[in-house]
Each structure stands twice: as structure tokens, then as C-alpha cells.
């Protein structure tokens, strides 16, 4: 008797593996996509996972749905290990009802997120579906409401990583948007709130689905995606790499790896061009300071005038925030401000110390920037650094001008250590601009205005275009040789391992949004 029951269970299990059937799986593969189960097999160690709720069924009776059996309700929920660490995941099955999410599928996803939070383990969401199941009407909308609620509730509790491995249309896109990180897949991801047809009908604009919601647009323009992968297979591998930089939950620390002790890096002494207007590539500095091959750029395609990413220093995970002098001289615009503020908050949520590499001439001037609210966006950076209690170490390499000097985490904004290279220039603005304002009348009245202007520039440069004035006031903790940078950062991080921080009691602060 029991044999029959076991045989029946085995049959049901085998059936589930077929997903939406041979034909639909072939179609999925023909699009260059893995299916929902293959993706999970790739994610979990040895392809092994425990499935959650495989036998859940929808209870919709409208539009012929009462006769429609949807395997696993169109979403495979699972728990397993990734690099030996417990991880939860849900994977939408496009071959079953187009991966659409109804009342019961949503319940499965919410249950997975809640179990992950209870276990204190990350959750990975693989999105590949048509969004809210149309036949289920408000039941499907309510389902998504519960998903959004769970995403928001556990934000900052456990890492939540979303992969857009197919369509993710309509309001459904708000679930990945509420997760910590979004990975898009080249030529495969399609993410928008209102699709091309709706836009055409309402505004008359014509645009293809790829141009509107493809991987590139979210990676480089909208800022909705933090990572881009060439295939869904590589997106899953990227998830595993990202998880290696994150702790299991907010109460734990990221795992350290073994690495050689920090040492002098002679190349850094020659990295900054003599001419302060000459650009250089800040990524060269980052790759020298970080343990070899550990820098993983976050938001690489968005606001390239700023750089954010995870790295390791002496094996310990750090978040790097830097200006990029080779793009707009590294000045901060609206997008860079959003990018940095978000990354700082992400690091703070997951106990990742922040290292700031500063070479910033200021906020980007422009009518668009002012109209777009650069004040409000720039304020996010100040807020994010001010509220971050993780260790914060700032290195001023060259320019640190005006509000941008403060917004990149100066001493006042809570940097625990600030070190400056001898090339550092810390001032309200650059010499030329400053002299033109302060000595305007004197220059105009002089016999040789250009000579007077140059003399004033030289005077200003001597006073402020060195770190010694700031050091004399204690705004920086020390002036260091560039080659000593990694040693100073590593020491600072060791000192700060037991950092104490106190929060002012209040209900909720109001970060400018």
C-alpha cells in the first residue's frame, strides 16, 4: 500500500520537473534562456535544493481557469546552499502560464521571503513572467501587494537579490525594485511599467520594447539595474559572487578570506598627473588598493563619474566609493548622488565598512542639474553618510572642493579617519574660480590684470592647494604618501573593528527623496 503512495508521490514529482511541457521548454531554450529549474540547479551547490510548496494550486475559476493545471503554480520556491551558506530562492516559470503570478503563487513567494527572514538567510528572486495573472483580477494584485510588503519589511534584514531573466512587466517590476540589487540580462530582460503599446496609445511616442525596457537602458540610463550579465547563466554566477561579499543577515558580518597583509604600493606614488587638470583612471587606484582581483563594481553602467563597488582589503569586505576624474573630472551630478547614497546605505545595512577615495571638483554645474533637484539629490549623500554607523575611512587624493568635499564624507560627516595625499587640495572652490570672485575688483583695477590674476592664483594655491592648511586645523588626521594608502586603510579598519556608535532615539528620519 505504502509502495503505491510512494510511487504516486514519485510520479507527481517527475511531472513537476516537466514544467509547462516539452514544447514550451524548447521555446524557452530557443530564446537562449534556461528554464526555472535549471536556473535553481545552477544557483545551488551541486544543483541540490529543497523545494517549498511544490503542490500549491490556484483556486481561480474564471475564464476557464478551473480546468487549468499550472505546475508549481508557475513559480519554483526553494532553499539550499550557495557556496556552503543557506540561501532561499524563487524562480518564475515562464513555461507555465507565462510565469504569471496569481494569489497562490504570490503566497509561495511571500512564504519563501518570510522563511528566509526567519532563518536569517538571503533570498534570490528570479523574475521571468507576465506579472499579475490577468484572469485572477484583484486576487493577483493583492498577491503582489503582499510580495511588496514582504520585500519592504525585510529590506535591510536579509540580502534580497533580483535577477530579471525575462519579462518583468507592469507593477510586478516593483518587487525587484524593492530588493537590494537588480541584475539584468542582456537581450533577455524586459522591465517596464507601461509597455510600448500603452505609451503609443497615450502619448503617441513610438519605441521598441528593447529600447524601452531592455538591459542596457536599466543599466545605463534609468538606474534600475545595478549589474548586467551577458546571459542568465552568468547572471546566476554573478549572484553567487555578490553573495560572497554579503553577510547572511544584518546581525552578522560578511565572511573574510585569507589575504596577504597590506604593504607599500610604490605605483601609487606615480599615479596622479602633475597637472591638476589632467585626468587619470581611479579604477587603477582601486585595483591597487584592493586585494588582487577582488573589486566588484556596483552600478558600473550608471553615473560613471562616480564609482561604487565591493572589494576586500586584507581579506575583509569593504565598500569603495570613489570619484572618477576621467569622467566630467569626477564632479557629482544627480545620478552620481543617487548612486553613492544608495551604496552607502547598502553597506551600512550589511555591516560593510566604507572607504572613500576622493578627487572631486564639486557638483556638476548646469540648469538641468538645478531644475532636476541636485540640492535634494546631493543632500541624500550627506544624509546617507551622516546616518551610516559602519567604519568610514576617507582618502583625499587630489581635489576636494566645496560641498562635494563634505558630501564625499569629510570628518564632519562622520568619517572616522581622513587621510590626505600630499597632492590634496581642500578648498571652497578651485583657484581660478575663487580668484575671479574674491579679487574681481583688484584684478580689474590693476595695470596688468592678467599678471595680478596669476599672482593671486599662485597665492591662493599656496594657501589652499595643499593639505597642510586642513591638517593644521585637524580636518584631516594625517598626510600620507600615496604608496602608504593601503597600509593606512587596513590599520584604520582594524582599529575600527570594535567601533561603537550611538543612535539618537527617534521614530524615523527623513532622508530627502
Annotated active-site residue 170? The verdict is yes
Rounded to the nearest 10 degrees, the angle between the axes of helix 449-464 and helix 431-438 is 120
Q: How many CB atoms lie within 10 A of CB 44?
A: 21
Pick between residue 165 and residue 413 the one whose CB is nearest to ligand HXC: 165
Q: Is 126 left (phi over 0), alpha (psi -120 to 50) or beta?
A: beta
Pick between residue 98 and residue 362 the one whose CB is nearest to ligand HXC: 98
Q: Is 151 in the site for ligand HXC (CB under 6 A)?
A: no
Annotated active-site residue 403? The verdict is yes
Q: Is 60 in the site for ligand HXC (CB under 6 A)?
A: no
From residue 42, alpha-carbon distances to 22, 23, 80, 383 in Å are 20, 22, 11, 39
Pick between residue 97 and residue 229 the one whose CB is nearest to ligand HXC: 97
Supply the DSSP symbol for 448: S
Q: Print the binding letters for residues 443-482 with ligand HXC: x by CB under 6 A, - otherwise.
A: ----------------------------------------
From residue 399, alpha-carbon distances to 325, 411, 480 in Å are 10, 16, 15
Q: Is 25 in the site for ligand HXC (CB under 6 A)?
A: no
From residue 352, alpha-carbon distances to 291, 319, 502 in Å are 16, 6, 17
With beta carbons less than 8 A apart as the criterion, state whether 96 and 131 touch.
no
Q: Is 492 in the site for ligand HXC (CB under 6 A)?
A: no
C-alpha cell at 364: 556638476
Q: Is 109 in the site for ligand HXC (CB under 6 A)?
A: no
Q: How far is the CB of 236 from ligand HXC (least distance, A)?
A: 21
With beta carbons less than 8 A apart as the criterion, state whether 391 and 355 touch.
no
Q: Is 134 in the site for ligand HXC (CB under 6 A)?
A: yes
Q: Is 130 in the site for ligand HXC (CB under 6 A)?
A: yes
Catalytic residue among 130, 403, 414, 430: 403
Q: Is 223 in the site for ligand HXC (CB under 6 A)?
A: no
Q: Is 254 in the site for ligand HXC (CB under 6 A)?
A: no
Looking at the chain, the number of H-run helices and the number of E-run strands are 20, 16
Q: How far is the CB of 27 from ligand HXC (least distance, A)?
A: 9
Widest distance between CA atoms in the chain: 110
Candidate segments 107-115, 165-173, 339-347, 367-375, binder of ligand HXC by CB under 6 A = 165-173
CA 212 vs. chain centroid, Å, equals 21
List, in sequence order, every beta strand (DSSP E) within 299-437. 306-313, 316-323, 354-360, 392-401, 417-420, 425-427
Q: How far is the CB of 287 from ligand HXC (least distance, A)?
A: 40
Annotated active-site residue 404? The verdict is yes
Q: Is 132 in the site for ligand HXC (CB under 6 A)?
A: yes
Element (H, E) at 491: helix 485-495
With beta carbons less than 8 A apart as the criterion, state whether 427 and 465 touch.
yes
Q: Is 131 in the site for ligand HXC (CB under 6 A)?
A: yes
Candidate segments 133-141, 259-267, 270-278, 391-399, binder of ligand HXC by CB under 6 A = 133-141
Using CA atoms, how far apart are residues 464 and 471, in angstroms rounded to an integer? 11
Q: In angstroms, what is the C-alpha Rg of the chain?
A: 26
Out of 98, 214, 414, 431, which residue is the one contacting ligand HXC (CB under 6 A)? Answer: 98
C-alpha cell at 315: 581579506
CA-based nearest residue to 163, from 58, 33, 250, 74: 33
Catalytic residue among 173, 336, 400, 404: 404
Pick between residue 170 and residue 402 the one whose CB is nearest to ligand HXC: 170
Phi, psi of 337 (to 5 degrees): -65, -45
Candidate segments 96-104, 297-305, 320-328, 391-399, binder of ligand HXC by CB under 6 A = 96-104
Q: How far is the CB of 74 from ligand HXC (least distance, A)?
A: 9
Q: How far is the CB of 180 from ligand HXC (least distance, A)?
A: 20
Pick between residue 70 and residue 470 the one whose CB is nearest to ligand HXC: 70
Q: Is 144 in the site for ligand HXC (CB under 6 A)?
A: yes
CA-based nearest residue to 403, from 424, 378, 383, 384: 378
Count of positions on this chain that bind ligand HXC (CB under 6 A):
16
Q: Is 79 in the site for ligand HXC (CB under 6 A)?
A: no
DSSP β-bridge partners for residue 354? 319, 392
Pick between residue 101 and residue 490 the one whose CB is nearest to ligand HXC: 101
Q: Print the binding letters for residues 171-200 with ligand HXC: x by CB under 6 A, - otherwise.
A: xx----------------------------
Q: Is 133 in the site for ligand HXC (CB under 6 A)?
A: yes
CA-based nearest residue to 139, from 106, 170, 113, 103: 103
Grid look-up 531573466 returns 165
Pick between residue 77 and residue 168 the one whose CB is nearest to ligand HXC: 168
Candidate segments 129-137, 315-323, 411-419, 471-479, binder of ligand HXC by CB under 6 A = 129-137
Q: Is 212 in the site for ligand HXC (CB under 6 A)?
A: no
Using CB under 6 A as the criterion, which residues of the chain lie in contact with ligand HXC when the complex forms?
Answer: 97-98, 100, 130-135, 141, 144, 167, 169-172
Active site residues: 170-171, 403-404
Amino acid at each position: 500500500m505504502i509502495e503505491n503512495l510512494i510511487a504516486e508521490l514519485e510520479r507527481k514529482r517527475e511531472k513537476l520537473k516537466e514544467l509547462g511541457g516539452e514544447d514550451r521548454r524548447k521555446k524557452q531554450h530557443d530564446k537562449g534562456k534556461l528554464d526555472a529549474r535549471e536556473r535553481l540547479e545552477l544557483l545551488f551547490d551541486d544543483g541540490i535544493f529543497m523545494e517549498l510548496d511544490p503542490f500549491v494550486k490556484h483556486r481561480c475559476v474564471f475564464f476557464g481557469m478551473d480546468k487549468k493545471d499550472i505546475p508549481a503554480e508557475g513559480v519554483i520556491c526553494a532553499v539550499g546552499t550557495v557556496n556552503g551558506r543557506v540561501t532561499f530562492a524563487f524562480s518564475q516559470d515562464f513555461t507555465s502560464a507565462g510565469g504569471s503570478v496569481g494569489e497562490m503563487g504570490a503566497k509561495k513567494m511571500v512564504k519563501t521571503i518570510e522563511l528566509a527572514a526567519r532563518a536569517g538567510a538571503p533570498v534570490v528572486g528570479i523574475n521571468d513572467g507576465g506579472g499579475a495573472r490577468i484572469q485572477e483580477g484583484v486576487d493577483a494584485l493583492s498577491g503582489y501587494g503582499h510580495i511588496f510588503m514582504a520585500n519592504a519589511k525585510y529590506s535591510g534584514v536579509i540580502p534580497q537579490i533580483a535577477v530579471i531573466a525575462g519579462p518583468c512587466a507592469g507593477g510586478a517590476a516593483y518587487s525587484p525594485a524593492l530588493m537590494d540589487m537588480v541584475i539584468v540580462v542582456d537581450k533577455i530582460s524586459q522591465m517596464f511599467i507601461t509597455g510600448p503599446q500603452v505609451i503609443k496609445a497615450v502619448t503617441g511616442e513610438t519605441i521598441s520594447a528593447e529600447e524601452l525596457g531592455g538591459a542596457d537602458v536599466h543599466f545605463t540610463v534609468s538606474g534600475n539595474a545595478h549589474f548586467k550579465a551577458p546571459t542568465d547563466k552568468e547572471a546566476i554566477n554573478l549572484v553567487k559572487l555578490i553573495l560572497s561579499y554579503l553577510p547572511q543577515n544584518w546581525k552578522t558580518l560578511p565572511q573574510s578570506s585569507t589575504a596577504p597583509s597590506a604593504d607599500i604600493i610604490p605605483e601609487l606614488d606615480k599615479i596622479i598627473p602633475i597637472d591638476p587638470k589632467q585626468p587619470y583612471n581611479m579604477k587603477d587606484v582601486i585595483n591597487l588598493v584592493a586585494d588582487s582581483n577582488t573589486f566588484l563594481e556596483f552600478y558600473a553602467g550608471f553615473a560613471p563619474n562616480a564609482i561604487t563597488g565591493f572589494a576586500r582589503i586584507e581579506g575583509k569586505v569593504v565598500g569603495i566609493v570613489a570619484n572618477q576624474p576621467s569622467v566630467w573630472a569626477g564632479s557629482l551630478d544627480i545620478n552620481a548622488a543617487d548612486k553613492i547614497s544608495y551604496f552607502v546605505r547598502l553597506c551600512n545595512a550589511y555591516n560593510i565598512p566604507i572607504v572613500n577615495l576622493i578627487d572631486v571638483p564639486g557638483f556638476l554645474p548646469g540648469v538641468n542639474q538645478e531644475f532636476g533637484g541636485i540640492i535634494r539629490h546631493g543632500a541624500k549623500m550627506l544624509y546617507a553618510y551622516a546616518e551610516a554607523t559602519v567604519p568610514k575611512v576617507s582618502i583625499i587624493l587630489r581635489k576636494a572642493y566645496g560641498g562635494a568635499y563634505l558630501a564625499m564624507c569629510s570628518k564632519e560627516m562622520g568619517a572616522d579617519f581622513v587621510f590626505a595625499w600630499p597632492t590634496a587640495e581642500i578648498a571652497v572652490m578651485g583657484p581660478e574660480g575663487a580668484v575671479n570672485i574674491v579679487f574681481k575688483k583688484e584684478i580689474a583695477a590693476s595695470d596688468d590684470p592678467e599678471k595680478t590674476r596669476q599672482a593671486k592664483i599662485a597665492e591662493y594655491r599656496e594657501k589652499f592647494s595643499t593639505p597642510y592648511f586642513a591638517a593644521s586645523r585637524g580636518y584631516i588626521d594625517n598626510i600620507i604618501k600615496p604608496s602608504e594608502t593601503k597600509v593606512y586603510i587596513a590599520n584604520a579598519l582594524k582599529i575600527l573593528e570594535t567601533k561603537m556608535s550611538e543612535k539618537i532615539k527617534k521614530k524615523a528620519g527623513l532622508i530627502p527623496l
